[in-house]
Chain A
Amino acid sequence: DQQVKQNSPSLSVQEGRISILNCDYTNSMFDYFLWYKKYPAEGPTFLISISSIKDKNEDGRFTVFLNKSAKHLSLHIVPSQPGDSAVYFCAASAQTGANNLFFGTGTRLTVIP
């Protein structure tokens, strides 16, 4: 039973444009959400997170939006750069800071120069 879903396995975007990666979850107990980026042959790297008490968190070119009523979050990357090409995983936990993260299946982003 997949509690965190990323329904788009891949996304291609032109350099300089906005990338929007989406994530849906089913467990209403989730209260902390994270995005990780993974390059080939490397472990996932933390990108940005958001607590359920917020609806937006911004860090440079990366912004995460949370819609609790829809159980949906999205990651916006503006402007997209070729170095952003990677697999992006959405993750959630039912306890802020808990290590038991539930991951989605990932979205492969390709930024075309």
Chain B
Amino acid sequence: ETGVTQSPTHLIKTRGQQVTLRCSSQSGHNTVSWYQQALGQGPQFIFQYYREEENGRGNFPPRFSGLQFPNYSSELNVNALELDDSALYLCATNQGGGRGANVLTFGAGSRLTVL
């Protein structure tokens, strides 16, 4: 059982740039969710992917987008970076597409700093 791994662990970008964050799913988990955790706040739901399609989204603009691949790994893409996008981005995986009494397994996160 490999757990959820995220890359990169830290990165620095400038305003207006684009960033791609990656996540590999825990073995057997077919659903991936992404969360943003700003400093001093709790994680906030961005969106969820199941069977390679987005099937749930929080209150985030379209410049936040994602992909899920056949092996259940995932990417989070953020375009036109803003200073407020500086945060820890957490990937979480589980089974079942968000139905049933599931529990999320989180990765350690990617810390993004936007200057």
Which residues of A are in contact with B by a Cβ distance under 8 Å?
4, 6, 32, 34, 36, 41-46, 49, 51, 89, 91, 95-106
Contacts and interface: CB of A to CB of B under 8 A. Distances in A.
Contacts of B35: 103
Contacts of A104: 42
B66 interface: no
Contact of B40 (A36, A95, A103, A105): A105
Interface stretch (B69-77, B79-87, B96-104): B96-104
A111 B90 CA distance: 27
Interface in B57-115: 58, 90, 92, 94, 96, 98-109
Contact of B43 (A44, A45, A96, A97): A44
Given A32-B101, A49-B103, A96-B100, A101 B45 contact: yes
A45 B31 CA distance: 17
Given A46-B105, A98-B99, 5 more contacts: A46-B103, A99-B48, A99-B56, A100-B98, A101-B43
Interface residues of B, number: 29
A98 B47 CA distance: 12
Contacts of B107: 43
Contacts of A45: 106
23 contacts: A32-B101, A42-B108, A43-B105, A43-B106, A44-B43, A46-B104, A89-B42, A89-B43, A96-B100, A97-B96, A97-B98, A97-B101, A97-B102, A98-B56, A98-B98, A99-B45, A99-B56, A99-B92, A99-B94, A99-B102, A100-B58, A101-B104, A106-B42
